[in-house]
Amino acid sequence: MMIFRLLTLLKHQAVQHNHAAQLSTLKWRHGTYATAFCQSGSCLNKSDDLKQKSVLGHSYGRRFFRLSPAGIVNAAPVTVQPYLKLMRLDKPIGTWLLYLPCAWSIGLAADPGCLPDLRMLMLFSVGALLMRGAGCTINDMWDKDFDKKVSRTATRPIASGEITQFQALVFLGGQLSLALGVLLCLNYYSIALGAASLSLVFTYPLMKRVTYWPQFVLGLTFNWGALLGWSAVMGSCDWSVCLPLYVSGVMWTLIYDTIYAHQDKADDLLVGVKSTALRLQERTKLWLSGFTGAMLSGLLLAGANADQTLPYYCAVSAVAIHLAHQIYSVDINRPEDCWKKFASNRNLGLLLFLGIVTGNLWKKRSDEQYERILNSVS
């Protein structure tokens, strides 16, 4: 009996030592564990097992910062968070899809054997963030009543009442003012070209009320950077390169946004808005295959007119394989799979950009290009 009591005592001490070690580790990692145990008296009402999970995982009443878009938004002051969510800062995929056609165009405009203009890439990244945020703000202002009726969008800041229409309008003015500042860093041709896209930015959200092809108008809007990127580097558009690239981008948007629209087709039908998902229905994959063919044709033509080399065409082949897998495997009746396939298009766009950059580095400069570079340096 004495031996049994001794073993029990040793086991109890070992458990206490183990808990103390875990708390010490947590204190070293996060600075304090008091809030994890004492918020709302949770430590007094939970079993030891639950307390251990709360301490070693997410603590009660405390937010630990994570270096991610969602983490940045959640770490922001409470009064600022609705505005960051309004511009979709926590969901950066839309910014990527707006930015990538700009990056393609800037990459294609680079001198043979050279990397793309890094200053332009940075300017357009800031511009894409601001304009995507402005577009989302405009969209939510137009769609406030529709968003309230759709489960996925009912919690958006304007639809839920966190932000009023007037506050959203003021915020929109701030975003557009900052975007104008970015645009004014470009040449006069590009300033005029960029300003011309505003009509599309403001009218796109209305298209779902009048046509089953709002995704086409979104494509015209989202891929304006395919024209603007080249003109920002070169001073004007070379339409033999820019126009095929722009058409390819529009086709790409029709692909990924039709897949995206299948998430909401039941709710869209109920509230009375239109989309390519409702128009194409079970013929979606056939149409997406046609859009893919048009996109690849445009990329090949743009590459040929820009004197692209082998790495570019390898990247276009990889894009074709990616799209074929996307279209073949997507389950248009499963919203979570539609989102997964939609989000994978960021990697597709980055793959093409990598092909453009490496293809450009593969090129050899002509004597005229060497002379132009020397003249610009002198």
Per the model's pLDDT, the better-predicted residue between 95 and 51 turns out to be 95
Q: pLDDT tens digits for 213-231?
A: 999 999 999 999 999 999 9
In the predicted model, what is the mean pLDDT of residues 101-124? 96
Q: Give pLDDT, residue 296.
A: 98
Q: Give pLDDT, residue 365.
A: 63
Residue where the block lists tokens 């029990």? 8
Q: pLDDT tens digits for 33-63?
A: 333 333 333 333 433 443 343 333 344 444 5
Q: Give pLDDT, residue 376.
A: 61
Q: Are 125 and 97 in contact (CB under 8 A)?
A: no
CA 77 to chain centre: 23
pLDDT more than 70, % of the chain: 79
Q: pLDDT tens digits for 258-270?
A: 999 999 898 888 8
Q: Give pLDDT, residue 59.
A: 40
Q: Give pLDDT, residue 69.
A: 85
Q: pLDDT tens digits for 3-32?
A: 444 444 444 444 444 444 443 443 333 443
Q: Give pLDDT, residue 364.
A: 77
Q: Are 71 and 65 in contact (CB under 8 A)?
A: yes
Domains annotated for the chain, with CATH where assigned, are: 78-365 (1.10.357.140)
What the block records as the tokens of 217 is 């108008």
Per the model's pLDDT, the better-predicted residue between 364 and 309 turns out to be 309
Min mean pLDDT across 58-67, 121-130, 277-286, 350-359 is at: 58-67
Q: How many CB atoms are located within 10 Å of the residue 213 CB? A: 18
What the block records as the tokens of 184 is 């004014």
